[in-house]
Amino acid sequence: MIEMEHVRKVYDGHTALDDLTLSVPEGRIFGLLGPNGAGKTTLLRLIMGVLRPDAGTITLFGEYAPGVPAATRQIGYMPQQLALYEGLSVRENVLFFGRMYGLGGAVLQARADEVLERVELRERQSSLAGTLSGGMMRRAMLASALVHGPRLLILDEPTAGVDPLLRLRFWEWFRQLAAEGITVLVTTHHISEAGQGSEVLFLREGRILERGRPEELIARYGVADLEAAFVQATRQAVPGNDAARTANGETRA
Amino acid sequence: MSTMGWIALRVILEIVRDRRTLAFFFLVPVVVMSLVYLALFQDETARIAVVARGAARLFVYDLERALEQEQDVVVVPLEIPDEERDPQRLEADIQAALRTGQADGVLFFEESLLAERFEGKRGTLHLYLEGSRPTLTGLVASAVGNASDDLAASLPVVIDADCSAKCANSVNVKPLEIDKHYLYGSEDYRLIDFFLPVLLPFFVFFLTFILSNITFQRERVRGTLERLLIAPVTLTQVVLGYMGGFLLFSIPQAGIVLVYLLALIGFPVTVLQVLDLCAITMLMLLISLLMGLLVSFAARNEFQAVQFIPLVILPQVFFSDMIWSIERFPAVFRWFAMLLPLTHANIATRNVMLKQQPLWQSWPHLLAMAAMFLAALALLSLVGRRRTGMLG
């Protein structure tokens, strides 16, 4: 699904990603974890073709370079910002993004019904996006990222500012999507929730610290949960670094 | 520190740390005022030429000296051959000189002037006026009026019998008749008629520029632009889509301004003139949209986008031939004015409305506007791709 080989990206002399080699198979939920500035968003933008690598190659769906229309048509993207048109209704937003991917007519209407049903927004589909709560806006964004039936779903902090119950619901949807064969690439600050994914990748300063199934990583570091595994991996990468753990024991990623 | 003090400190810190905002805050008024001063430190001056035939040429020198005594008037030579005596061709030459901008007014003495005075007639001076700029027309007419009184005194004296009875202490010399011929317009042109037509391109530019600037800025800031560009959509498609959407509102808006202007304008306007004006306005509208989008890319946030508004709009008000004639500006400012789309829109509008020229005669200005539209589209594509990270 995603093949990256020796990818390097430098911004103004700062190396955002360094010699990154990664393979993401189809139908998985792939969690990208790392502190701010680790290179998560850069990685996503390279895959979407918004940025070009300074070195290395990226191949999507076995044949396409990022950014080519044949590849972008198969990608759904949900950014961290609440990127909806506030003056349009929920359904109009979904239909608009569907049209941007070339859908139309009855097919689009049916797809809109389907994705709005999936995110449980059918009853609020006529509400203006600007009148929705943060959680509802995130659901509407997920619907508009799914409307064109992507094979790869890229989610940048999809549960930021979302209450715990809805976060669980979001992850249920991700698992359903993965079961349908969609690859879900998700960045999150909530490390514990990334444990619900098929595989996680720890990133730090543009390099891969660890990669594996959540239970494998927990076992590898002999800790209780994924958060602790992340902290251990970070400490081992930078000896003597306790900064990742705050005074009240929470982990900052 | 009080709550208000902390709020003030927060505002100060944010502005100080935003260098572009800081620069706008202090530099915009200084830059714009300097430009205006440098461009306008010379008063508007009207150019008058004197043409005479036969014995009337004897008085040209005195008349030119008298005209030079008048404020804001300069006497300029005209390249009309002395041997040209055919009245129709002579008039055509004078009109050509006015049309090409060699002079704002031409005072013509016929050979018969001296004979008329000897015969006891008042004698007639012919004043040819360009007529499209009321301020210059006024300056020329006033200067010629004063100078002709001096001339009348030096010509064979014709006693004004009516006046000598009533005004014993005045110089009882019959004044010369001044017959005014207007190349454009008529004596009825009001100052407001000169400004009204160009308000249309200005309003279209002003309102469309602000609307597109702010709306596109919002699209960028809230992340929907990035979502669009990640979809199989090009920036050019986004821009053209924006233009399509805005036109639905901008066209009726321009229509309302146009209808209102036509109601206020004090001279008759033909359907063809209105159609020509619509064409100019449409071009201006498209350019304004692109300029708004370009500026929204140059600004990092909505605050900066708002501050770009005076920087873009004020020079166009001062340097676009809207209020002051750019012909009188120093060369560097004339070139600067030619880089502003509103200058071309204003000149073309006045050509159509005040000079009653067919639109095609303003082709250099229409071509310049079309070139600016294409250049803005190309620049937008380039800047937009960079700003949205398309080139990484």
- pLDDT, tens digit, for every residue of A6-21? 999 988 778 888 888 9
Asked if residue B151 and residue B197 are part of one domain, the reply reads: no
Last residue of a domain, one of A150, A166, A185: A150
CB-based burial, A228-249: b 16+ in 10 Å, e otherwise: bbbbbbbbeeeeeeeebbeeee
B25 alpha carbon, distance to own chain's centre = 29
Q: What residue type is A59 in one-letter code? A: T
Of the residues B182, B206, B226, the one at which a domain ends: B182
Q: Is B77 helix (H, G, I), strand (E, B) or coil?
A: coil
| Residue A12 counted as domain residue | no
Assess if residue B106 is contained within a domain: yes
Last residue of a domain, one of B155, B182, B209: B182
User: Same structural domain for residues A215 and A119?
Assistant: no
Cβ contacts of B227 on chain A, cutoff 8 Å: 77, 79, 83, 97
CATH of the domain at B177: 3.40.1710
> Among the three residues A127, A150, A173, which one is the final residue of a domain in this structure?
A150
Reference A62, options A51, A50, A74; nearest CA is A74
Residue A214 lies in a domain: yes
Q: What's the whole-number mean pLDDT along residues A110-115?
A: 95
Whether residue A167 sits in one domain with residue A142: no
Query: What is the pTM assigned to this prediction?
Result: 0.74
Asked if B280 and B154 sit in the same domain, the reply is no
Long-range contacts of B16-23 (CB under 8 A, 24+ apart): B18/B303, B18/B304, B20/B300, B20/B304, B20/B307, B21/B303, B21/B304, B21/B307
Task: Please compute the mean of the pLDDT values over residues A42-71 and round it to a whole number.
Answer: 88
Residue A138: closest CA among A97, A70, A79: A79
Residue A57 domain-assigned? Answer: no
- Does B376 lie in the same domain as B307? yes
Q: For residues B198 and B99, state if they share a domain.
A: no
Where is the domain boundary, A150, A174, A189? A150
Q: How many residues does chain B have?
A: 392
pLDDT at A243 over 70: no
Q: Using the beta-carbon criterion (under 8 Å), do B390 and A81 form an inter-chain contact?
A: no
Residue B216: inside a domain: yes
- Does residue A247 have a pLDDT over 60? no
| CA-based nearest distance B218→chain A, Å | 10
Q: Are A225 and A190 found together in one domain?
A: yes
A/B interface, count of CB pairs below 8 Å: 51
Q: Which among B230, B233, B389 has the least Cβ separation from residue A77?
A: B230
Does A253 reside within a domain?
Answer: no
> pLDDT value at position A248?
38
Question: Residue B168's pLDDT is what?
Answer: 47
Joined tokens for residue B365: 């200005």
pLDDT score of B86: 77
A9: in domain:
no
Residue from the list A48, A81, A84 with its beta carbon closest to the beta carbon of B230: A48
B224 → chain A, closest CA residue: A83
Does position A176 have pLDDT exceeding 60, yes or no?
A: yes
- CA dist A32 and A154 (Å) reads 11
Please say if the pLDDT value at position A233 is more than 90: no
**In this structure, are residues B348 and B287 in contact, taking their beta carbons and an 8 Å threshold?**
no
Structure confidence at residue B165 (pLDDT): 53
Is the same domain home to A206 and A217?
A: yes
| Whether B219 and B106 share a structural domain | no
Together in a domain, A177 and A200:
yes
Task: Please indicate whether residue B72 or residue A116 has the higher confidence score (pLDDT).
Answer: A116
Residue B360 inside a domain? The answer is yes
Q: Are residues A163 and A204 in the same domain?
A: yes
Domain range enclosing B301:
190-387
My answer on whether A138 and A156 are in the same domain is: no
Q: Do A97 and B222 touch (CB under 8 A)?
A: no
Higher model confidence: residue B83 or residue A41?
Answer: A41
Residue B254's contacts (CB-CB under 8 Å, 6 or more residues apart) are B200, B203, B204, B278, B281, B282, B285
* Residues A95, A143: Cα–Cα separation, whole Å: 10
Per-residue pLDDT of chain B (392 residues; tens, 9 = 90+): 777 877 888 878 877 877 777 777 788 778 878 877 776 666 778 889 988 877 777 778 888 888 888 888 888 888 777 776 777 888 888 888 888 888 899 988 877 777 777 777 777 888 999 888 888 888 888 888 888 877 777 776 666 656 555 554 444 566 778 888 888 877 777 777 888 888 889 988 998 898 888 888 888 888 888 888 888 888 788 888 888 888 888 888 888 888 888 888 877 888 898 889 889 998 998 999 899 988 888 887 777 788 888 888 888 888 888 877 777 777 888 888 899 999 999 999 989 988 888 999 999 999 999 999 999 988 887 876 665 554 33
Provide the domain count of chain A.
2
The H-assigned helical ranges of A101-163 are: 105-118, 134-146
- Please indicate, yes or no, if residue B29 is contained in any of the structural domains: no
- Residue B221 in any domain: the answer is yes
- B30 falls within a domain: no
Partner B contacted by A45 (CB < 8 A): yes
Q: pLDDT per residue over A100-112, tens digit each?
A: 998 989 999 999 9
Where does A25-175 show beta strands of DSSP type E?
Answer: 29-33, 55-60, 75-78, 152-156
The answer on A70 and A164 residing in a single domain is yes
Listed range (A92-96, A153-157, A234-238) with the worst mean pLDDT: A234-238
With tokens 């039936």, the residue in question is: A149
Structure-derived torsion over alpha carbons of residues B167, B172, B173, B178, reported in degrees to the nearest 10: 0
- Assess whether B206 and B341 both reside in one domain: yes
Domain boundary, last residue among B149, B182, B215: B182
pLDDT value, residue B349? 92
Q: What is the pLDDT of residue A232?
A: 83
Q: Which residue of B has its CA nearest to A10?
A: B392
Residues A166 and A133 reside in one and the same domain: no
Cβ–Cβ below 8 Å for A52 and B224? no
Q: Do A101 and B229 touch (CB under 8 A)?
A: no
Asked whether residue A68 falls in the same domain as residue A169, the answer is yes
Compare A152 and A217 and report the one with higher pLDDT: A152
| Chain A residue nearest residue B238, CA to CA | A100
Q: Which CATH number covers residue A198? A: 3.40.50.300
User: ipTM higher than 0.85?
Assistant: no
Q: Is there a single domain that holds both residue B167 and residue B205?
A: no
Q: Are B121 and B96 in contact (CB under 8 A)?
A: no
The contact set of B with A (CB < 8 A) is 222-224, 226-233, 388-392
Confidence (pLDDT) at B172: 53
> Average of pLDDT values for A177-185?
92
Residue A140 token pair: 């509407």
Contact at CB, B389 and A50, closer than 8 angstroms: yes
For residue A136, pLDDT beyond 90:
yes
In a domain, A244, yes or no: yes
Which H or E run contains B342?
helix B341-353
> How would residue A251 be classed by pLDDT, with cut points 50, 70 and 90?
very low
- Treating both helix axes as pointing N-terminal to C-terminal, what angle do B191-221 and B134-154 enclose, rounded to 10 degrees? 160
Q: How many CB atoms lie within 10 A of CB B34?
A: 10
Cα(A39)–Cα(A59) distance, integer angstroms: 19
How many domains, in total, are found in chain B? 2
Contacts of B247 (CB under 8 A, 6+ apart): B285
Q: Is residue B40 part of a domain?
A: no
Q: Are residues B234 and B367 in the same domain?
A: yes
**B223/A102 CB distance under 8 A:** no
B322 in a structural domain: yes
Dihedral sign for Cα atoms in the order A120, A125, A129, A131:
negative
- Distance from the Cα of A222 to chain B's closest Cα (Å) equals 41
- The residue range of the domain holding A124 is 77-150
One domain, residues B349 and B296: yes
Residues A192 and A139 in one domain: no
From A244's Cα to the closest Cα of chain B, the distance in A is: 29
Shared domain check, A93 and A40: no
Strand order in the sheet with A14-24: A14-24, A2-11, A55-60
